[in-house]
């Protein structure tokens, strides 16, 4: 009987679809300084060489929470953020017009292509994206970020007064983005709340923190 139960469990594991893993930036190396924001990608996209439906088609990609087609395309190549449980996927945008966005469709090679917007509100500048998702879910520090990112300041300026340092933050709540600075409320392991400004992005455009979407 025990062997039969084990067999049925294994069989169900083979039959039931398994969701793809979440994709989130891990370190500052994910940054491509050409990007201006993110686009929430529809489940069926046609990649064009130019922002014109008469131009050459580079590829047609279909995806779901469990699969992506064609086989040569990988979730991590197309998406910067992918949350299969929410069927939510964002690709990095390098250019935008009223009706089109140019996305990086291969994060390994940096190759770009144009897709026609299915909804104008699905494109978000980086500031808009951080204000929306960072305020909802909080932020986390990317690996490779400089140590001074942990310095909490009284104002969004390097010369402003030092308030405190984040040691091992358990929660970084975003209140608002101001330029390359973020007004945050931090809860550290010492359980002492700290509020002030930290750098979420360097002057060179490299991101040091990212919304902790779950």
Give the mean pLDDT of 97-118. 96
What Å distances lie between residue 3 and 8, 73, 171, CA to CA?
9, 39, 45
Q: Would you say how long the chain is, in residues? A: 214
Query: What mean pLDDT value characterizes the chain?
Result: 90
- Written as six digits, the tokens of 123 are 């494109």
The residue behind tokens 């104002």 is 155
pLDDT confidence tier of residue 193, bands split at 50, 70 and 90: confident
What Å distances lie between residue 136 and 130, 131, 173, 202, CA to CA?
9, 8, 8, 23
pLDDT of residue 93: 97
Taking 50 as the threshold, does the pLDDT of residue 6 lie above it? no
The residue behind tokens 């917007």 is 117
3-state secondary structure (DSSP) of residue 145: coil
Taking 50 as the threshold, does the pLDDT of residue 37 lie above it? yes
Environment class of 112 (CB within 10 Å of its CB; exposed 0-12, middle 13-18, buried 19+): buried
- Written as six digits, the tokens of 131 are 């204000």
Taking 60 as the threshold, does the pLDDT of residue 8 lie above it? no
Taking 90 as the threshold, does the pLDDT of residue 125 lie above it? yes
Closest CA to 161 of 197, 192, 209, 208: 197
pLDDT of residue 108: 92
Give the mean pLDDT of 173-199. 93
pLDDT confidence tier of residue 19, bands split at 50, 70 and 90: low
Q: What is the pLDDT of residues 135-164, one digit of tens each?
A: 999 999 999 999 999 999 999 999 999 999
pLDDT of residue 10: 42
Taking 60 as the threshold, does the pLDDT of residue 13 lie above it? no
Closest CA to 102 of 111, 112, 91, 110: 112
Taking 70 as the threshold, does the pLDDT of residue 72 lie above it? yes
Taking 60 as the threshold, does the pLDDT of residue 85 lie above it? yes
Task: Reply yes or no: is the peptide bond before residue 184 cis, omega within 30 of 0.
Answer: no
pLDDT confidence tier of residue 29, bands split at 50, 70 and 90: confident
Residue 97 and residue 177 in contact, taking contact as beta carbons nearer than 8 Å: no
Domain ranges, ordered by start, for the chain: 17-118, 127-211
- Written as six digits, the tokens of 74 are 């990988």
Q: Looking at the DSSP assignment, which residues form a beta bridge with residue 175? A: none
Taking 90 as the threshold, does the pLDDT of residue 179 lie above it? yes
Topology of the domain comprising 127-211: SH3 type barrels. (2.30.30)
DSSP string over 87-135 = TEEEEEEEEE-SSEEEEEEETTTTEEEEEE-S-GGGEEEHHHHIIIIIH
């Amino acid at each position: 009987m025990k062997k039969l139960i084990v067999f049925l469990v294994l069989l169900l594991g083979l039959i039931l679809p398994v969701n793809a893993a979440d994709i989130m930036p891990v370190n500052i190396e994910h940054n491509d300084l050409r990007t201006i924001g993110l686009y929430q990608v529809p489940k069926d996209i046609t990649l064009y060489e130019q922002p014109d439906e008469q131009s050459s088609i580079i590829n047609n990609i279909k995806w779901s929470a469990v699969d992506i087609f064609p086989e040569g395309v990988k979730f991590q190549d197309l998406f910067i953020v992918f949350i299969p449980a929410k069927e939510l996927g964002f690709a990095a945008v390098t250019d935008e017009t009223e009706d089109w966005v140019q996305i990086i469709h291969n994060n390994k090679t940096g190759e770009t292509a144009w897709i026609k917007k299915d909804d104008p509100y699905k494109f978000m500048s980086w500031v808009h994206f951080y204000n929306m998702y960072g305020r909802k879910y909080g932020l986390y520090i990317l690996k490779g970020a400089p140590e001074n990112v942990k310095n909490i300041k009284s104002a969004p300026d390097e010369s402003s007064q030092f308030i405190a340092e984040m040691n091992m933050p358990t929660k970084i709540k975003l209140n608002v983005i101001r330029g390359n600075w973020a007004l945050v409320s931090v809860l550290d392991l010492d359980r002492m709340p700290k509020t002030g400004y930290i750098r979420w992005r360097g002057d060179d455009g490299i991101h040091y923190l990212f919304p902790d979407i779950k």
